Amino acid sequence: MKAARWIIGAILLLVITITATLQLSPSLGNWPLATQASTPGEVTITYLGTSTILISDGETHLLTDGYFSRVSIPALFGRIEPDQQRIRSALKKAGIEKIDAIPVLHSHFDHAMDSGIVAQMTGAQLLGSASTAMVGRGSDLAEERITTIQTHQPYQFGDFTLYFVPADHVPLPRPIEKWTGKGEITQPVRPPAYLGEWQEGRCYGVVITHPGGSLLIQGSAGVQPGELDRYQADYALLASASLGKQSEYYQQVFYNETAGAVGAHTIIPVHWDNFFVELSEDVKPLPWFLDNLDKSFEAMANRHDGDFIVLKPFQRLTLTPPEYSEPPADTAASPLAH
Ligand SMILES: [Zn+2]
């Protein structure tokens, strides 16, 4: 009888310890936070968790990925689906009514799952891989609202030009890779579905140019060397999750082939937040058991001579316009530098 009570007590203690450990996150305390306010007419970016970023010049609005459901870890073991209420409340809080384009960086659930629904709600064109197109179809988005992209081709929305650039996914432990789906999506994904159905598909970085500012967004900490060499961007928004777990060599290549390749003066980390809880201004970083924020941030900040700033969710940053040098008279101006 006494032994049984001891065992039950020990199990209870273990459960409480594990639950508490899963909640523990690193702190943003040591990292510089952006403070710049926005001015109408300029290009602003608003961080909305994961690699969901609103880019706007006041007329035209772009939103990468658009993942707001932020399914909890326990729920990931069952069928999952977009959380309409969370999507609506995040859109409202970010002041989003209309979106022109939703470029999706790869098709895992934490990037693509809500993209079709958000496109429906905001009138946006959905752009991404053939796998992302299947996510759009599964959300009953009209075929003409889905663009299966070609890499290195310009896509124009207002004064913004977008280029999708081949990239890679950060390496994940093999069981996680299997669970989250590494292949292509070959038929429409109709939620609710198991998370593995939102297979990765192709991974991209996206370069966005505008007279008011240029940026690169890398949705996962992986690259295909050489692909960004032809572009110039002042801001590099780089996925942080799992970067700190990679080798020094991997981190150096990632830096060289992203912020280094485009000559960014400012790095802004993205995909560092705990995306298993609803988005809020004071969202915590990913829990310790998934990522060490300081290690992942240092992997970028310690290699970079320019600025490294952290945007909190819903916080807006105004970009500085690119410093264009006058092109020689006999050469046409090109958005592609180098
Ligand atoms: Zn992914």
DSSP codes of every residue in 88-104: HHHHHHTT-S--SEEE-
Please, what's the b/e burial string for 110-121 (b: 16 or more CB within 10 A of its CB; e: otherwise)?
bbbbbbbbbbbb
Residues that place a CB less than 5 A from ion ligand 1: 108
CA of 195 to the centre of ligand 1 (A): 11
Which residue has tokens 């009514």?
97
CA of 9 to the centre of ligand 1 (A): 39
CA of 107 to the centre of ligand 1 (A): 7
Own/partner contacts of 69-72, CB < 8 Å, gap of 24 or more, are 69/113, 69/114, 70/275, 70/276, 70/277, 70/278, 70/279, 71/109, 71/195, 71/276, 72/276, 72/277
pLDDT score of 214: 97
CA of 177 to the centre of ligand 1 (A): 9
The tens digit of pLDDT for each residue in 58-82 reads 999 999 999 999 999 999 999 999 9
CA of 181 to the centre of ligand 1 (A): 9
CA of 59 to the centre of ligand 1 (A): 30
pLDDT score of 27: 85
Percent of the chain with pLDDT over 90: 83
CA of 338 to the centre of ligand 1 (A): 30
Tokens of 149: 């992209």
For the chain, give the mean pLDDT: 92
| pLDDT (mean) for 97-110 | 98
pLDDT score of 331: 46
CA of 203 to the centre of ligand 1 (A): 8
CA of 109 to the centre of ligand 1 (A): 8
Q: What gap in Å lies between CA 57 and CA 31, rounded to an integer?
A: 27
Percent of the chain with pLDDT over 70: 93
Q: Which residues does 173 contact at the CB level (< 8 Å), separation at least 6?
A: none
Tokens of 118: 């958000």
The tens digit of pLDDT for each residue in 126-148 reads 999 999 999 999 999 999 999 99
Q: pTM here?
A: 0.88
pLDDT band at 280 (very low <50, low <70, confident <90, very high): very high
CA of 200 to the centre of ligand 1 (A): 6
pLDDT score of 333: 45
| pLDDT (mean) for 294-307 | 98
- Cβ–Cβ < 8 Å for 88, 186: no
Write down all domains in the chain, each with its CATH number in brackets: 35-318 (3.60.15.10)
